[in-house]
Amino acid sequence: MTAQAFPSDQWFAACPKGLEGLLAAELTTLGAVATRETVAGVYFGGPLATAYRACLWSRLANRVLLPIARLASPDSDSLYAGLKTVDWSACFGPKQSFAIDFSGQNKHIRNTQFGAQRSKDAIVDWFVAHCGQRPPVARKDPDIRLNIRLAGSEAVLSLDFSGGSLHQRGYRLRAGAAPLKENLAAAILLRADWPAIAARGGALVDPMCGSATLLLEGAMMAADIAPGLQRERFGFEHWAGHNAPQWQAVLADARGRAARGRAATLPEIRGYDADPKVLRSARDNIARIGLEKVVRVSSKPLSELKKPSHKPLPIGLLVCNPPYGERLGERDSLMYLYRQLGEVMAAEFGGWQAALLTSDLELGKATGLRSHKRYALWNGPIAAHLLLFNLTDNELRGSPTPESAREADPDTASDQPPLSDGARMFANRLRKNRKRLRAWVQREQVSCYRLYDADMPEYAVAVDIYGECAHVAEYQAPAGVDPAAAERRMQEVRTAVPDALGLPATAIAYKQRRRQRGGEQYQKQASRGEFISVTEGAARLLVNLHDYLDTGLFLDHRPLRRRLFAEAAGRDFLNLFCYTGAATVHAALGGARTTTSVDLSNTYLGWARKNLAHNGLDETRNLLQRANCLQWLQQADRDYDLVLLDPPSFSNSSAMAGSFDVQRDHPELVRAAMALLRPDGVLYFSNNRRGFGLDAQLLADFACEDITAQTLDPDFQRNSRIHCCWLIRHRPSESVWPQDRKRAGARRQRARRA
């Protein structure tokens, strides 16, 4: 059986799905003729020099193949016989190693490994018969790589002209957690029209640059550097038909263009990432290709992203491959990260273009910006979408604000029935309190605060303001109170609150507070899934007014969070019993070097993850740990400068052995935390246990200061027993209590051995 030979000037370039049109256009600029697109590749014609240029210059192709023969292969014997009719001496010699990439199957060849083995036997047998010597087979770095693709009863034999995937440029030895292939990065930049933007003097910025793949591909385009110039070898170099002088001419031309490009004035190219470790890989990649003066990267979370301001940059491209669920985080928290990205794009990069790669269109929509083009791409096995944005007059969109919802809601205060005497009295107290707090609220720009806390014993509720919404919690009535009277007064509260605050009923949540047992504090009261964003200082925090007993933000700890923000710069912060991570967000935004947040509840850790994402904070420097805090402290192997310890008063959760009582158990807990505190560090210990007293031995062993009064803002000064708070330091003469210091040292020793 004879193989059917292909014309010597016919080639095939493989590429990721979705790039066929771009690749055909690119090959045409390299001298290709008669291009024909197919799934994941392009056939093209041209002389040998065109194939050399395709290998060296294609930014999009995975491989360039030279089809050799078409073989009838209904079964393995036919495949074997067909391969033995090929004149292999025209391809390579018996002293050269080879490998076979086999793909496809049919009725009789059901396994690619079997197909490759049968093909290898045919080639080796041909050389033994014609040359008296068998060529070596090399799985790694062979001299010659052959490609056999089986479809039905026919196989196509090709020489892998490129010798390995062309996306491997040679500059990237290490990548981040979710690497973007170089040819896909190039496709993103070409779709976003980066070459034209660069030609007009525009800049390139990647706010989550990882190992700098997008930046380096963009820099090579701007500097006219051939993407294959860094590769150590190509597959054709050991091919019998290789024309070395012609290849050297193509190579010399590319080197000359690169030298002229590097000497030219190149655009501003900047990258940022929150992970210092991945930036080390980025800097290595940049140095390997010699573009340190062009591509600059620095460690910066999304929350701190600004357009470079050292010179005017009216136009440019912001390009980004943010996490999309499959790699770095949960989808629900990523919605807030994408929203933060959209807000930064709109606020900082007006007049620019933007390109965003995501596998989830809903995440793309979460930016709140309108994309004008969308392309389907594949990032390895992941189907992805490239969204293009024009950031000129691209206004942020989102859910209706409470103000607009109020206008659209017919259930406003004017529609309420006349107030009873009791409801009128309660409404007047709310107005009075609001007037009393108004100056403080405006001066300190407080958006969430306690307006009323059982000021009148007969109306035993707490009323909290959250931006344009309100949260009303009814305290559980004592056993002797008439249930009918309590219900009547609660109904008066329900009619008075909308009237006094000017809010629609839909903007007010009502709950009953009662003693919590076990894991009840984690259990849902409803399933609305509605989070609203509120501000507290520099932080944006998510609260849920309906679904849980607590809203996700303890308002009485506002001053303590403010203090942590002011003291966190350059420090390592530990947040024990971290709840929804509000204090962690403040510390991170205050410049903490690292934060570690520990809690036993998956619900609260998921909430903390959302809060971090909502503020553009990553989880590389802000670690979340699910653990029993005391057990975690006993096993921890690092120290901290700043610690917040805010345990519950009591817990008998099924997730922990036994129970926890803060009065009984706090000495062991505080000592374990102090063992991790550096000599000049600070521990803030807080709890809301009524009548709590700090252990006398702790007072003797450490420098303890009761700062409760300093941690109460005007909205909680009436109820000064809402919490107690202690500032605890090591005594200067004994930086760590001996027993704790010994335990901490042993932990560090174990960590070093590990």
Cα gap 750→754, rounded to integer Å: 6
Residue type, 139: R
Query: 682 or 420, which is more confident?
Result: 682
pLDDT at 486 (0 to 100):
87
Those residues whose C-beta lies under 8 Å from the C-beta of residue 518, and which sit 6 or more positions away, are 651, 652, 653, 654
Cβ atoms within 10 Å, residue 680: 10
Q: What is the mean pLDDT of the chain?
A: 90
Rounded to an integer, what is the distance from CA 618 to the centroid of its chain?
Answer: 7
Give the residue-averaged pLDDT of 199-216. 96
pLDDT at 398 (0 to 100):
74
Residue 331 has pLDDT above 90, yes or no: no
Cα gap 525→490, rounded to integer Å: 19
Give the residue-averaged pLDDT of 380-387. 88
Residue 739 has pLDDT above 70, yes or no: no
Cα gap 501→652, rounded to integer Å: 39
pLDDT at 657 (0 to 100):
65
Structural domains of the chain, with CATH = 4-160 (3.30.2130.30), 182-223+266-390 (3.40.50.150), 402-514 (3.30.750.80), 532-753 (3.40.50.150)
Residue 400 has pLDDT above 50, yes or no: no
Which whole-number Å values give the CA distances from 38 to 20, 32, 44, in the listed order?
7, 16, 11
Compute and round to an integer the Cα radius of gyration of the chain: 34
At 127, phi and psi to the nearest 5?
A: -65, -40
Instruction: Give pLDDT tens digits for 244-300.
Output: 999 999 999 999 999 999 999 999 999 999 888 899 999 999 999 999 999 999 999
Instruction: Give pLDDT tens digits for 510-535.
Output: 998 655 444 444 455 566 778 999 99
Report the candidate in 207, 494, 225, 237 with the shortest Cα–Cα distance to residue 355: 207
pLDDT at 405 (0 to 100):
36
Give the residue-averaged pLDDT of 727-751. 63
Please tell me the least confidently modeled range out of 104-108, 128-132, 324-328. Answer: 324-328
Which stretch, 367-371, 377-381, 717-721, has highest mean pLDDT? 367-371
Residue 207 has pLDDT above 70, yes or no: yes
- Tokens describing residue 641: 């400068």
Report the candidate in 616, 610, 565, 614 with the shortest Cα–Cα distance to residue 591: 565
Cα gap 322→472, rounded to integer Å: 39
Residue 399 has pLDDT above 80, yes or no: no
Cα gap 483→489, rounded to integer Å: 10
pLDDT at 227 (0 to 100):
97
pLDDT at 654 (0 to 100):
58
pLDDT band at 680 (very low <50, low <70, confident <90, very high): very high
Residue 752 has pLDDT above 80, yes or no: no
Report the candidate in 356, 337, 349, 339 with the shortest Cα–Cα distance to residue 391: 349
Give the residue-averaged pLDDT of 430-440. 96
Instruction: Give pLDDT tens digits for 279-291.
Output: 999 999 999 999 9
Cα gap 292→295, rounded to integer Å: 6
Q: To the nearest 10°, the Cα dihedral for 728, 734, 739, 742? A: 110
At 461, phi and psi to the nearest 5?
A: -135, 160
The percent of residues above 90 in pLDDT, for the chain, comes to: 78
Residue 329 has pLDDT above 50, yes or no: no
Residue 704 has pLDDT above 80, yes or no: yes
pLDDT at 732 (0 to 100):
84
- CA 404, 407, 408: angle at the middle one, nearest 5? 90
Residue 733 has pLDDT above 80, yes or no: no
Where helices occur in 63-193 by DSSP H, the ranges are 76-84, 112-131, 182-191
pLDDT at 719 (0 to 100):
84
- The structure tokens 């807990």 sit at 669
Report the candidate in 716, 709, 708, 658 with the shortest Cα–Cα distance to residue 687: 708
Give the residue-averaged pLDDT of 421-441. 95
Residue pair 585/301 in contact by the 8 Å Cβ criterion: no
Percent of the chain as helix, strand, coil, to the nearest 5: 40, 25, 40
Which whole-number Å values give the CA distances from 268 to 222, 308, 352, in the listed order?
10, 9, 14
Cα gap 385→378, rounded to integer Å: 8
- CA 675, 679, 682: angle at the middle one, nearest 5? 80
Residue 367 CB burial class (10 angstroms; 0-12, 13-18, ≥19): buried
- The structure tokens 């308002």 sit at 555
- CA 542, 507, 586: angle at the middle one, nearest 5? 20
Where helices occur in 147-212 by DSSP H, the ranges are 182-191, 194-199
DSSP states of 83-94 as a string? HHTS-GGGT--T
pLDDT band at 624 (very low <50, low <70, confident <90, very high): very high
Cα gap 429→608, rounded to integer Å: 35
SS3 536: strand
Instruction: Give pLDDT tens digits for 459-481.
Output: 999 999 999 999 999 998 777 77
> Which residues are registered as beta bridge partners of 270?
205, 296
Report the candidate in 143, 171, 136, 148 with the shortest Cα–Cα distance to residue 233: 143
Instruction: Give pLDDT tens digits for 300-323.
Output: 999 899 999 888 999 999 999 988
Please tell me the least confidently modeled range out of 215-224, 465-474, 643-652. Answer: 643-652
- Tokens describing residue 741: 């210091």
b/e code 226-262 from CB counts within 10 Å (16+ = b): bbbbbbeebbbebbeeeeeeebeebeeebeebbeebb
pLDDT at 292 (0 to 100):
95
Residue 176 has pLDDT above 80, yes or no: no
- The structure tokens 């406003």 sit at 412
pTM more than 0.85: no
DSSP states of 644-693 as a string? EE---SEE--TTSSS-EEHHHHHHHHHHHHHTTEEEEEEEEEEE--TT--
pLDDT at 401 (0 to 100):
37
b/e code 325-358 from CB counts within 10 Å (16+ = b): beebbeeebbbbbbbbbbbbbbebbeebbbbbbb
pLDDT at 239 (0 to 100):
96
Please tell me the least confidently modeled range out of 29-43, 118-132, 301-315. Answer: 301-315
Cβ atoms within 10 Å, residue 181: 19
